[in-house]
Amino acid sequence: MVSTKELVNIELEVKAIEKGNLACPGCQLNLSFKHALSALKGDAIVVVPACCTSVIQGAGQGYGMHVPIFNTAFASAPPVASGIARKLKRDGKKTTVVVWAGDGGTADIGFGSMSGAAERDENILYVMYDNQGYQNTGNQKSGATPRGAKTSTTPHGKKSRRKDIARMMMAQEVSYVATANASYPQDLFAKIERAATEFAGHFRFIQIYSPCPPGWNIDTKDSVLVGELANNTGYWPLYEAVNGKLEFSRPSRRFNDPAKRKPLADYLKIQGRFRNIDPEIVKQMEEDIEHEWSILRKFM
Amino acid sequence: MPGVAGRTSEWRTQRPDLHTETCTKCMKCVIHCPDDCITVTEDGYPEIDQYYCKGCMICMAVCPHDSIDEVITLPGGDIDA
């Protein structure tokens, strides 16, 4: 794992994002992008379907991110990336092709084309940043919205469970699947670096938990705290699965024991989207956490 | 190209104020700044770009030594209240 000092030096050198871009204050997606592109040393072509990133990357004649970006329509990001990757292979170049898509573009609209790219084992690093809703268009419910969250289309809280895309990708026998969290930058950095070097030539999938202050109704300064609580309550387990063999990452490992987890109420009370939530749903959410870990343990 | 959205500090209603006396150069604020507004000076201390800082105050929340203070600003973000 990279040290703090090295991380700072690489980030100041690569400068993946620019100051004064169009991201909302406290945006963790912007931060994840900075860490991810620093891990790739800026040597990447990023394909972005319609999502928050397509706003942040530039407006008019300016640009907000310091890498080549290809903006495309919702469901066509994996096919576009496949084409770019095949051309780079013909030219003998080692540049990583990254699809940087939101949870709506991955879990709902782009799922078919992503699954197809995974089946063909294209040379793509697929990064899904999970802000748990269509935050760009005004916080509508997506497939990755968790149970209980209020959105503009589920004003009384979502009743059903979220789709677990990382596990779906494991079911498709993708060679490298990982979950990451924007509040643990060194862990995120190590996973992107590992995916880009060790598993080059294959389809790789990384899902990043990135809190969204306006959509989740949290104070901008709490967005790092929310990520830490998601890890410490066991709500967002961090793991890497290499060819179906799963290993929990260091920040998450001790929460395999339910007694060491913090109470879920700590995580829920600082987020406005879970305000006045039905106690019955809270109970179901607590059961969901243990259910999730019990499934993941079977792959160890 | 910095500043595609103009002077983004005009969005804010508060700004961070760094006190280097208690700063241990742990770099947490530099790593967690979502807008890349905190750079490192030659003597190793963080430096906040007040022209583009959006005032999210994550740096204050993650600072383990309370070296960053919150200052309320007038609308426009450039004059302290």
Q: Which residues of A touch B5 (CB under 8 A)?
A: 20-22, 59, 64
Taking a C-beta distance cutoff of 8 angstroms, is the pair A112, A75 a contact?
yes
Instruction: Tell me what the mean pLDDT of segment A15-29 comes to.
Output: 90
Query: Hey, how many other C-beta atoms are within 10 angstroms of the C-beta on A126?
Result: 29
E strands, A131-244, where?
176-181, 204-209, 239-242
CA distance A55 to A134: 13
Share above pLDDT 70 across residues of chain A, in percent, rounded to a whole number = 100
Distance (Å) from the C-alpha of residue B2 to the closest C-alpha of chain A?
A: 5
Identify the pLDDT of residue B13: 92
The residue of chain B with its CA nearest to that of A8 is B31
Interior/surface letters B50-74, b for 16+ CB within 10 angstroms, e for the rest: bbbbbbbbbbbbbbeeebbeeeebe
Mean pLDDT value of segment A269-282: 92
Q: Which of B38, B50, B40, B36 is nearest to A21 (CA)?
A: B36
Nearest-neighbour CA in chain A from B9: distance (Å): 8
Q: Which residue has the higher pLDDT, A31 or A62?
A: A31
Tell me what pLDDT residue B5 has. 83
Homologous superfamily assigned to A4-297 = Thiamin diphosphate (ThDP)-binding fold, Pyr/PP domains (3.40.50.970)
Q: Which two tokens stand for residue A288?
A: 């969901």
% chain A with pLDDT above 90: 84
Is residue A59 scored above 80 in pLDDT? Answer: no
Tell me the pLDDT band of A61, cut-offs 50, 70 and 90. Answer: confident
User: Which site among A10, A21, A208 would you substitute to test the B interface, given the most B Cβ atoms closer than 10 Å to its Cβ?
Assistant: A21
Predicted confidence at residue A203, as pLDDT, reads 95
Q: A59 vs B5: CB contact, 8 Å cut-off? A: yes
pLDDT, mean of residues A70-75: 91
Q: For residue A1, name the pLDDT band (cuts at 50, 70, 90).
A: confident
Residue B3 has pLDDT above 80, yes or no: no
Bridge partner list, A131: none
Q: Residue A28 and residue B11: Cβ atoms within 8 Å?
A: no
Q: State chain B's mean pLDDT as an integer.
A: 91
Instruction: Indicate if the pLDDT at residue B78 is higher than 90.
Output: no
CA A125 to chain centre: 12
pLDDT at A244: 86
Mean pLDDT, chain A, integer: 92
A114-142 confidence digits (pLDDT tens): 999 999 999 999 999 999 999 999 899 99
Q: How many CB atoms lie within 10 A of CB A245?
A: 10
Q: What are the tens digits of pLDDT across the range B55-76?
A: 999 999 999 999 999 999 998 8
Q: Is the pLDDT of residue A20 over 90?
A: no
User: Which chain A residue has its CA at the smallest distance from B55's CA?
Assistant: A25
Instruction: Decide if A181 contacts B18 (C-beta within 8 A).
Output: no
Tens digit of pLDDT for each residue in A226-258?
999 999 999 999 999 999 899 999 999 999 999
Task: Tell me whether strands A239-242 and A176-181 are parallel, antiparallel or unpaired.
Answer: antiparallel
CA dist A205 and A50 (Å) reads 19
Residue B49 pLDDT > 80: yes
pTM, to two decimals: 0.94
Instruction: Summarize the confidence of residues A273-281 as an average pLDDT.
Output: 91
Q: Cβ contacts (< 8 Å) between A224 and chain B: which residues?
A: 32, 58, 61-62
Q: Where do the structural domains in chain A lie, given as residue ranges? A: 4-297
B50 contact A CB<8A: no
Q: Is the pLDDT of residue A63 over 90?
A: no
What is the pLDDT averaged over residues A282-287?
Answer: 94
Cβ contact (<8 Å) for B56 and A64?
no
For residue A291, what is the DSSP state? H
